[in-house]
Amino acid sequence: MKELTKAEEQVMQIMWELGKTTVKSIIDKMQEPKPAFNTISTIVRILETKGFVDHEKEGRGYLYFAIVSKEAYRKKFMKRFVSNYFQGSLKELVSFFAKEDKMDIEELEELMNDIKDELKKEKE
């Protein structure tokens, strides 16, 4: 799975939210100043070439939809992120955020409990 540019990711976030959608609907969800129709249309076609999006004909236009789920992309992105910035160590990642965000003991304990619960679910 290829990595998304910032602009592609912005469009994908909207597509994941909307489901089947048109280029116009994507633009409507974007903040001002709104990009040009041709700009978003080009990004959607690039996403289609990269295998993230597909389309179906509707009237004179097209409905576009994600064929890569947000969860699948997040999983791949986070694995790459942890590998590139934290030597593949989740411990390093958590330690970084604990130090940078000044997490308190209660938050760390809650995080540990969440992780333990997830690990239990995976074993079942």
| 3 state SS of 33 | coil
72 in any annotated domain: no
121 in any annotated domain: yes
Domain count, the chain: 2
Token duo for residue 66: 């994600």
Same domain, 57 and 15: yes
pLDDT at position 82 is: 87
pLDDT at position 2 is: 85
Same domain, 101 and 58: no
1 in any annotated domain: no
76 in any annotated domain: no
Same domain, 107 and 59: no
Identify the domain containing residue 101 by its residue range. 89-124
The pTM of the full predicted model, rounded to 2 decimals, is 0.76
Same domain, 57 and 93: no
Same domain, 19 and 53: yes
Mean pLDDT by 10-residue block, N- to C-terminus, for the chain (124 residues)?
92 97 97 96 97 96 96 91 88 83 81 82 77
pLDDT at position 30 is: 96
Angle CA 90–4–66, to nearest 5:
105
- H helix or E strand, kind and range, residue 94: helix 90-100
Beta bridge partners of 56: 63
Report residue 37: phi and psi, to 5°: -55, -45
Report residue 61: phi and psi, to 5°: -120, -160
pLDDT at position 89 is: 86
22 in any annotated domain: yes
CB within 8 A of 51, min separation 6: which ones? 1, 2, 67, 68
pLDDT at position 119 is: 78
